Amino acid sequence: MPDWLRDSPQWLWWIGAALAFGIVEMTTLDLLFLMLALGALVAAIVAGTGLGLIWQVLLFAVASGLFVFALRPVVLKHLKLEGRGGPMGIEGHIGQTATVLEPVSDRDGLVKLRGESWTARSELEGQTFGAGDLVTVVRIDGATAVVTEATPEDKPFDLEPPPA
């Protein structure tokens, strides 16, 4: 072992490793390097107690493994809210009710979906919807909502009936 490494406090090297892992974590955001940084902090504590390098490396490996396989899945579950709330992004639009702004056919149209205007087309060939009709989003193709007729349970209760 070189003199400069032997003469410097080993716990300081582990803190440096933890910082390096933390910086890498900021670029990946998958929590793997955060768990390694926590393992390096455990090794820094062990080094501060005066245990040898072999014990430091061994406890770094054990602690990092425990953090990766026991703590990381729990943290990811809470961060990603798995099993809570509804789907997000494009998947969140599927099954939503939209209001037709411009007539929708199997080729083109415009609907208001969650407060935004979306290009739309009907799911079935020959199916058309007039302005003001309520439709249900079946899928999203690129930036186009593919819609079908809204079922009664999809229609909101607060709409006034159309004038006779």
In tens, the pLDDT along 120-156 reads 999 999 999 999 999 999 998 888 999 998 877 666 5
Question: In the chain, how many H helices and how many E strands?
Answer: 5, 5
Residue 49 has pLDDT above 80, yes or no: yes
Q: Is there a domain that residue 163 lies in?
A: no
Q: Is there a domain that residue 9 lies in?
A: yes
Q: Which of 88, 71, 77, 92 is nearest to 139 (CA)?
A: 92
Give the structural domain span for 97. 90-154
Residue where one domain finishes, among candidates 59, 80, 101: 80
Distance separating alpha carbons of residues 70 and 43, to the nearest angstrom: 18
pLDDT band at 85 (very low <50, low <70, confident <90, very high): low
pLDDT for 86? 60
CATH code for the domain of 116: 2.40.50.140
Average pLDDT, the chain: 85
pLDDT for 147? 94
Together in a domain, 16 and 73: yes
Residue where one domain finishes, among candidates 37, 61, 80: 80
Residue where one domain finishes, among candidates 27, 54, 80: 80
Residue type, 37: A
Number of domains the chain is built from: 2
Q: Which two tokens stand for residue 153?
A: 């349970």
pLDDT for 77? 81
Together in a domain, 94 and 138: yes
**Single pTM value for the model:** 0.49
Q: Is there a domain that residue 41 lies in?
A: yes
pLDDT band at 102 (very low <50, low <70, confident <90, very high): very high
CA atoms within 13 A on the CB side of 78: 5
Together in a domain, 72 and 8: yes
Q: Which two tokens stand for residue 39?
A: 């393992």
Residue 60 has pLDDT above 80, yes or no: yes
Q: Which two tokens stand for residue 161?
A: 């009936």
- The CA-atom distances, in angstroms, between 157 and each of 147, 160, 162 are 20, 8, 13
Q: Is there a domain that residue 160 lies in?
A: no
Together in a domain, 36 and 70: yes
Q: Is there a domain that residue 159 lies in?
A: no
Distance separating alpha carbons of residues 113 and 67, to the nearest angstrom: 42
Distance separating alpha carbons of residues 133 and 128, to the nearest angstrom: 10
